[in-house]
Structure 1
């Protein structure tokens, strides 16, 4: 599977025109802990190894989590990870910038699982980056503004893993983040599981399905 998906991702890199290369964005959607971030990082590393450093870049949706302060203000912290706990408009705007602004570096936020907060400018998309791999739970959603991002992707792949594999990963993730065993199980059942069921509803909007259950996911 690995070689096939890397080859297919390489094929999305736009052909050079008049000595100038274009840029494309590959989206990876899927339920929580399906293996999206692992696959995205794998694709970026493999493409850069096979071509030149910086040919591929990484854009995680998790960098657009609302801060805990904003979630507290909105009364949504207990639902962190749901669609309305992200700056979705900001994410769509950045995807659009990456396609339009290719003459200067564009800085990209990330999410820090130790701080439990988004972190600005952890990643950078360089002017010579030709393919941006972006991943997140809600990239296939029909609702505005998510649907606006989907229209910008060259392709949108659905990363799939069995529910039991995902939920084991999610439980480990919450335990690593400091929750007790009981609190971790409660969070998975109350938050991650319904979010995953929502994500599954929009699989039909993806161009292909790739398996993520063999990948080690955070």
Structure 2
């Protein structure tokens, strides 16, 4: 007579529920900027604000200055480690840029956060050259997406030329000169042929996109499979409740519906012919059938891979900050 093995169930007691993060309230986080006094002009704030997110001096001071201060410490430590390694091997390596990834959902404000962070970091004396590259440029062109039958999955991991993106980040990390990245246009909703962003040995590179924290699938044979997230020195996830992001997405869609979509050369010109009620319905359809699905399936699962999580409330104001423990 065979006997089945007992199923062992193990659950940590509540007192031992451990988190890899230390969480700060907004006020607690703001105090960590102590000793740093940088301000941005009103013109800077206007230039850095997003389509529906207006960056305030308070947000810069309370949230992004402590982030920039923390990143500055990480950069200095990485520079010292790289210098020590170079001395150990007794040869001069090219400067190794510090690479920051900024991830999060469509419409959550990650592009705005990346722009503000770059503006602050470039003002530190030991890393004056800071470049910012959106990963949108590494989407497959629309013609290729159509050929593959995945136009409806634009923004999903499979809609990106992952090999090209990985090569770009690896070349920058290796200190190569004049590394080129393709450019994406939200107006034409496609890659711009012949347009390039040139990254030439920066001190810091910020890459911003939906899937920069995506892990590689582990191969059964055990060999290394490199992925973009493996090359990041620091990562930030911009977070908000999906219902809140949905509201921002619809608000942004309506803003474009009243402005950019009116241009006959715009990819979404056809939406300008809708009534406002129809435009809202279309925005909700796009959000719920594409972007929300991508958020739940691919983006949100990467949140806990970030070094820093900035969690926003309904007004785009960061309410809590979670920092991964060393």
Question: Is residue 168 of structure 1 aligned with residue 247 of structure 2?
Answer: yes
Instruction: Specify every segment of 5 or more residues in structure 2 that has no aligned partner in the other structure, as ranges.
Output: 1-62, 84-91, 219-224, 262-267, 272-278, 319-326
Distance 1:132 1:161, change over 3 A: same
3-state SS of paired residue (2:133): strand
Question: Is residue 43 of structure 1 aligned with residue 120 of structure 2?
Answer: no
3-state SS of paired residue (2:123): helix
The separation in 1 between residues aligned to 2:164 and 2:114, in whole angstroms, is 20
Distance 1:19 1:100, change over 3 A: closer
Distance 1:74 1:23, change over 3 A: same
What CA deviation, in whole Å up to 9, does each residue of 1:41-60 have, x standing for no partner?
11112222343896110121
Structure 1 length normalisation: TM-score? Answer: 0.85
Moved over 6 A (4+): none
Q: Name which of 63, 76, 79 aligns with 1:15.
A: 79
3-state SS of paired residue (2:105): coil
What CA deviation, in whole Å up to 9, does each residue of 1:17-66 have, x standing for no partner?
47974311011122222221111111112222343896110121111111
Equivalent residue for 1:138?
211
The separation in 2 between residues aligned to 1:38 and 1:194, in whole angstroms, is 23
The separation in 1 between residues aligned to 2:210 and 2:131, in whole angstroms, is 19
Cα drift, residue 122 of structure 1: 4.1
Distance 1:214 1:123, change over 3 A: farther
Q: Which moved more, 1:185-194 or 1:109-118?
A: 109-118
Distance 1:109 1:41, change over 3 A: farther
Matches within 5 A, 1:65-104: 65-102=139-176, 104=177
Question: Is residue 112 of structure 1 aligned with residue 185 of structure 2?
Answer: yes
Distance 1:52 1:171, change over 3 A: farther
The separation in 1 between residues aligned to 2:93 and 2:290, in whole angstroms, is 49
The separation in 2 between residues aligned to 1:72 and 1:49, in whole angstroms, is 43
Report if the CA contact (8 A) 1:58-1:133 is conserved: yes
Equivalent residue for 1:182?
281
The separation in 1 between residues aligned to 2:116 and 2:179, in whole angstroms, is 21
Structure 2 length normalisation: TM-score? Answer: 0.59
3-state SS of paired residue (1:157): strand
Equivalent residue for 1:158?
237
> What number of residue pairs does the alignment pair up?
213
3-state SS of paired residue (1:110): strand
Equivalent residue for 1:123?
197
Report if the CA contact (8 A) 1:48-1:56 is conserved: yes
Report if the CA contact (8 A) 1:28-1:159 is conserved: yes
Matches within 5 A, 1:57-68: 57-68=131-142
Equivalent residue for 1:27?
101
The separation in 2 between residues aligned to 1:135 and 1:88, in whole angstroms, is 14
| CA RMSD between the two structures | 2.6
The separation in 2 between residues aligned to 1:31 and 1:143, in whole angstroms, is 19
Report if the CA contact (8 A) 2:121-2:130 is conserved: yes
Q: Name which of 177, 202, 205 aligns with 2:302.
A: 202
